[in-house]
Amino acid sequence: MFTSFTAWLRFISKVDTFATSLMRLAIAIVFLWIGALKFVPYEADSITPFVANSPVMYFFYEHPEGYKAHLTHEGELNADKRAWQTENNTYGFSTGLGIVEILIGLLVLSNSVSRRTGLLGGALAFGTPLVTLSFLITTPEAWVGALGDAQHGFPYLSGAGRLVLKDLLMLAGSLPVMAESARQLLRERCALSLQPTLGKP
């Protein structure tokens, strides 16, 4: 029993050798999948409170101050609210954001082809959560509303707030991904510097 447990511990102790590759794949999947969903109206509608309240994004909307009256639930189809969202540029902004997220996912995956683009993808994947985590400060809907229950406001995260908080994992996971790309780039540069100069006697 002890021997098998020791063997299991040895196996677990080595999983970190491919953990960075797994993290790179996980980050790419999240960006590609969520980025693709940004082309769908329900996903575009769901990010309205975050964008409308963000001091660095609100100007992408035509009427950021009017979003509360036009929020919908996932799966709900309301023609009037969807018309407002169209006029608000909700879908135009979401499409642009989706393109950016898909690009980040592809850059993260590109590491095996180009360390430079892989490093860039890791850096962008690190920077994105810095923006989204700011939503915890700027978005009222990130916290449970005062609707009668005693538990509301800080520290009671709403569903939207809990979703944003998970970006801490993306922030942390992007660091080893960037570090791996940087190490590989350094090794490549070192190998090139050691190569004999062409034409040198």
Q: CA-CA distance, 29 to 8, in Å (whole number)?
A: 29
C-alpha Rg value of the chain to the nearest Å: 22
Q: CA-CA distance, 143 to 148, in Å (whole number)?
A: 14
Read off the amino acid at residue 56.
Answer: V
Q: CA-CA distance, 103 to 169, in Å (whole number)?
A: 20
Q: CA-CA distance, 48 to 70, in Å (whole number)?
A: 9
Binning the chain into helix, strand and coil, the percentages to the nearest 5 are: 75, 0, 25
Task: Give the DSSP letter of residue 59.
Answer: G
User: Contact, 121 vs 170, CB < 8 A?
Assistant: no
Q: CA-CA distance, 120 to 182, in Å (whole number)?
A: 10
Instruction: Give me the tens of pLDDT residue by residue for the chain, a chain 201 residues long.
Output: 567 888 888 888 888 878 899 999 999 999 999 999 999 999 999 999 999 999 999 999 999 999 999 999 999 999 999 999 999 999 999 999 999 999 999 999 999 999 999 999 999 999 999 999 999 999 999 999 999 999 999 999 999 999 999 999 999 999 999 999 999 999 888 887 777 654 454
Reduced to 3 states (helix: H, G, I; strand: E, B; else coil), residue 113 is coil
Per-domain boundaries in the chain: 19-177
pLDDT at 18: 86
Give the pTM. Answer: 0.88
